[in-house]
Amino acid sequence: MIAIIASRSDPAAMNIARALIGGYGFREANGSGARYDRGDISLFLIDGEATECEGIDERLGADAMIFASRHRSATRLPCLTIHATGDPRGCGAGAKGLAMADPIRMKIALRALSEAKSELGLEGFLVSLEATHHGPAGLDAPSFFAEIGSSEEDWLNPEAAEAVSRAIFSAASLGGSGIPSVGFGGGHYSMKHTRAELDSEYAIGHIFPKYFFEGDFSKAAIELAFKRTAGNCSTALLDWKGMKGQHRKALLEVLDEMGIEAVRI
SS3 of the chain: the string is CEEEEEECCCHHHHHHHHHHHHHCCCEECCCCCCEEEECCEEEEEECCCHHHCCCHHHHHCCCEEEEEEEEECCCCCCEEEEECCECCCCCCCCCCCECCECHHHHHHHHHHHHHHHHHCCCCCCEEEEECCCCCCCCCCCCEEEEEEEECHHHHCCHHHHHHHHHHHHHHHHCCCCCEEEEEECCCCECHHHHHHHHHCCEEEEEEECHHHHCCCCCHHHHHHHHHCECCCCCEEEECHHHCCHHHHHHHHHHHHHHCCEEEEC
Print the domain residue range for 130. Answer: 2-264
Residue 214 confidence class, pLDDT cut points 50, 70, 90? confident
- CATH number, domain at 30? 3.40.630.50
What average pLDDT does this structure show over 168-177?
Answer: 94
What average pLDDT does this structure show over 105-109?
Answer: 98
- For CA atoms 148, 149, 155, 158, give the dihedral sign: negative
Tell me: pLDDT of 92 over 80.
no
Pairwise pLDDT comparison (87 vs 208), residue with the higher score: 208
Number of domain units in the chain: 1
Pairwise pLDDT comparison (218 vs 26), residue with the higher score: 26
Tell me: pLDDT of 96 over 60.
no
Of the candidates 83, 253, 249, 62, the one whose C-alpha atom is nearest the C-alpha of residue 182 is 83
Residue 216 confidence class, pLDDT cut points 50, 70, 90? low
Q: How many CB atoms lie within 10 A of CB 231?
A: 18
